[in-house]
Amino acid sequence: MKISKIIMSLLCAALFLNMQCDDDDTSLPQSNCASFVAIDGFTYENSATSPYSINSVSINNDCLVIEVSASGCDGNTWDMQLVDSEEVSESNPPQRYVKFFLINTEDCLAVVDRARSFDLSPLQIEGENEIIINVDDYSDPVIYTY
């Protein structure tokens, strides 16, 4: 009698743990870029970055391509992120502000160049077809037409 109660309890527990919700299945939109821009004002204002210098910024379709230099071994372990401030300047065209963040744990003295592309489509503004992207620590704004 006790064994059947234990088996029944285990069966109920297994059924309970097996319940799954289709809402948990999320997928990122398709993109030709390596990463997506994050829209997060708190991270924009408060995150720290490893030292780097921006060599160039360009736009290729919906991708913002940033080439940077920093000390390192080969740059393969670098974590590169682009974060939007969540602020939109009401100008014509509107302007957005982004920061590039580099997490570099490589302990070498060589100077390494790396490029990363970021999908800008989350920054699009409804009713507009063009915005100016101001990249922090880069002198020239870039125009993103979509």
Helix (DSSP H) and strand (DSSP E) numbers for the chain: 2, 9
Query: How far is it, in rounded angstroms, from Cα 75 to Cα 102?
Result: 10
Whole-number pLDDT of residue 36? 95
Q: In percent, how much of the chain has pLDDT > 90?
A: 75
For 93-137, write each residue's pLDDT tens digit. 999 999 999 999 999 989 999 999 999 999 999 999 999 999 999
Whole-number pLDDT of residue 31? 75
Domain limits of the chain? 33-145
Best CATH choice for the domain 33-145 from the list 3.40.50.620, 3.30.365.10, 3.30.70.360, 2.60.40.2370 = 2.60.40.2370
Whole-number pLDDT of residue 92? 94
For 20-40, write each residue's pLDDT tens digit. 554 455 554 577 899 999 999
CB atoms < 10 A from the CB of 80, how many?
A: 22
User: Any idea which residue has 């590039």 for tokens?
Assistant: 100
Nearest to 63 by CA among 123, 103, 125: 123
